[in-house]
Structure 1
Amino acid sequence: MVSSATKRPFFLSLLIGLIISTLSYILQPLQPFQSIAHRGASFYAPENTMAAFQKAVDLDFDFIEFDVRLSKDGQLVVIHDADVQRTTNGVGYIGDLTVQEIKMLDAGSWFSPEFSQERIPLLEEVLKQFGGKIGLLIEMKSSENQPQLTQRLSDTLMEYIDNGLKPSTLKVQSFNVKEMKRFHELSPTISSGLLFEKPLNIFHFADYRKFAAFLSVNHHLLSNSIIHEAKRYGFDIYSWTIKKQYQFQMMQRFGVNGIISDEECKKPLKFTTTSTGTLKK
């Protein structure tokens, strides 16, 4: 039988350990990061619309994140879901609709009547209006079912790069490892990344590094050890989708490179030293 005198030192040491670990976390500095607007600034405007993308520019996000699928007539359409029912007044699958049919849909009233004129954009429209103004993080949706999507996206982006758009302002990601390998082969100057919503297997990191520059990870799966290991292989880490302010600070203390969120987060103030030795914002 363990005496109460023996228990006390154990619980005291446990309490001290918890206090030290909590203080070490709290005292970790908030690291700088790239702010990435999830489907545009989708807290303020209907997701994946030009209004949401413009709001992200107005709020000074670094990148907008959005999704692309192929229409029935082979055009790259900016929408998350495979069907249009959730975010428009229509029904049907994007792959079964032509661009003419898609453009007739109201893509904003579900969010607010003031956005009733919003339409589902084409990738070309986004590139023309926002290319060079803000970074573009593009997710390929359902590329395993539409293999021509990868080629079509590569051709479109490379055409814009040939016409002066800087490759550093573009990133492409997908859950599909095979298609991201293929995209990287087609467009090696554009940063490629893999999406994860299940626990990461660090034993695959060496293979991923052959074609991926970043890992975009559900924030619930991130830890100091995972991030440390990923950065050891040279990956940037993006966390998604952050919706609460305390989560922003947690991700900043982890040291992620980018935070994908619906709304803006106040970044840590950057200070520089003046010639007199004082600090200014």
Structure 2
Amino acid sequence: MRVAHRGGAALAPENTLAAFETGLNYDPDALELDIHLSNDGVLMVMHDPLLSRTTGEAKEISDYDAATLATFNAAKTHKDARLFGFQPIPTLEQVLGYVQTREQSVLLQIEIKLKQDGSRYDQLEEKLIALLRKYDRIDSSVIISFDFPSLQRIHELEPSLQRGALISKKYMTEIGSKGPKAVAENIASLNVDYVGINYNYLSQTLYDEFRAKGLGVGAWTVNEKEAILRMAKLGVDFITSDYPDRLQQLLVD
């Protein structure tokens, strides 16, 4: 599957409605996005817990309510900020509503994020599942996270919802040092559907170990032509890229 990372972060300001609109124009199989929680309990779509990188604002998402966050320009620091104009930080509900209007068959990969201090947002998983049910998205979403307890909580609340465990650099330094088999066994013990890994770590041996455990495999963030083709040849289920246009050009028959 071709996955537009943060909507297509190389083509438009990441995780904005402009990015999802642009990404969908290249007919990806899935959109990937990230969620945090405002201080009044609204699911917000943004990658970082800190606002500074994309909006230029101080503090964290969790320091503000949704109404205030909507006044911040998520395209402010983008190289083409003038072209895209003001792009508010969208709520997850706004993104779900927009995708629904496009009437395209597209999977959603929703990444659960943590606060800057590494703590979890209270009730985030419950709010996420409620929204997915509201928009009839349980069967067409995959919840992904580097935080494995969040994935376990999702399973407790909605066992039918597909989940993917993301492997961090720290994880590969620790568990990964024990070898491919140990990594595959550890991820399989989480009872998830997929594993997502930086493509630079995905060797043929590790890929084979994942498959032997019955795991789906996704690679991120794959932007260069040679790497895209290499991951496709390897046979991964998901290729996540900032360039949905390249994925369409290289992988659509």
Identify the TM-score tier after normalising by the shorter chain. 0.7 to 0.9
* Contact preservation (8 Å) 1:158, 1:187: no
Unpaired stretches in structure 1, ≥5 consecutive residues: 1-33, 271-281
Moved more, 92-101 or 199-208: 199-208
Give the helix-richer structure, 1 or 2: 2
- Alignment of 1:120 with 2:89, yes or no, is yes
The within-5 A match list for 1:144-163 is 144-161=119-136
After TM superposition, give the deviation of residue 160 of structure 1 in Å.
2.3
* Contact preservation (8 Å) 2:144, 2:163: yes
* Contact preservation (8 Å) 2:188, 2:215: no
* Contact preservation (8 Å) 1:88, 1:107: yes
Q: Letter of the aligned partner of 2:66 in structure 1?
A: V
Q: Letter of the aligned partner of 2:25 in structure 1?
A: D
1:204 is aligned to 186
* Contact preservation (8 Å) 2:229, 2:250: no
Query: Post-superposition, which runs of at least 4 consecutive aligned residues in structure 1 deviate over 4 A?
Result: none
- Alignment of 1:256 with 2:241, yes or no, is no
After TM superposition, give the deviation of residue 158 of structure 1 in Å.
2.2
CA-to-partner distance for each residue in 1:241-267, whole Å, 9 max, x for gaps? 012111101111211111010003224
Among all aligned residue pairs of Structure 1 and Structure 2, give the percentage whose two residues are the same amino acid: 30
* Contact preservation (8 Å) 2:2, 2:239: yes
Q: Letter of the aligned partner of 1:138 in structure 2?
A: I
* Contact preservation (8 Å) 2:112, 2:145: yes
- Alignment of 1:186 with 2:157, yes or no, is yes
- Alignment of 1:224 with 2:189, yes or no, is no
Whole-Å separation in 2 of the counterparts to 1:206 and 1:229: 10
Whole-Å separation in 1 of the counterparts to 2:251 and 2:56: 41
Whole-Å separation in 1 of the counterparts to 2:40 and 2:30: 29
2:225 is aligned to 245
The within-5 A match list for 1:17-96 is 34-96=1-63
Whole-Å separation in 2 of the counterparts to 1:269 and 1:83: 36
Whole-Å separation in 1 of the counterparts to 2:162 and 2:250: 24
Q: Letter of the aligned partner of 2:168 in structure 1?
A: E
* Contact preservation (8 Å) 1:109, 1:115: no
TM-score calculated relative to the size of structure 2: 0.86
- Greater radius of gyration (CA): 1
Whole-Å separation in 2 of the counterparts to 1:38 and 1:221: 18
After TM superposition, give the deviation of residue 89 of structure 1 in Å.
3.7
Secondary structure, aligned partner of 1:137? strand
CA-to-partner distance for each residue in 1:119-149, whole Å, 9 max, x for gaps? 1100000111114632211000017421421
* Contact preservation (8 Å) 1:195, 1:215: yes
* Contact preservation (8 Å) 2:54, 2:74: yes
Moved more, 147-156 or 43-52: 147-156
Q: CA RMSD in A?
A: 1.6
Whole-Å separation in 2 of the counterparts to 1:194 and 1:202: 11
After TM superposition, give the deviation of residue 268 of structure 1 in Å.
4.1
Secondary structure, aligned partner of 1:189? coil
When residues 54 and 219 of structure 1 are mapped into structure 2, their CA distance, relative to the original with a 3 A threshold, is same
After TM superposition, give the deviation of residue 269 of structure 1 in Å.
5.4
1:101 is aligned to 68
Whole-Å separation in 2 of the counterparts to 1:252 and 1:178: 30
Q: How many residue pairs get matched?
A: 231
Unpaired stretches in structure 2, ≥5 consecutive residues: 177-182
CA-to-partner distance for each residue in 1:219-261, whole Å, 9 max, x for gaps? 1110111111111222111101012111101111211111010
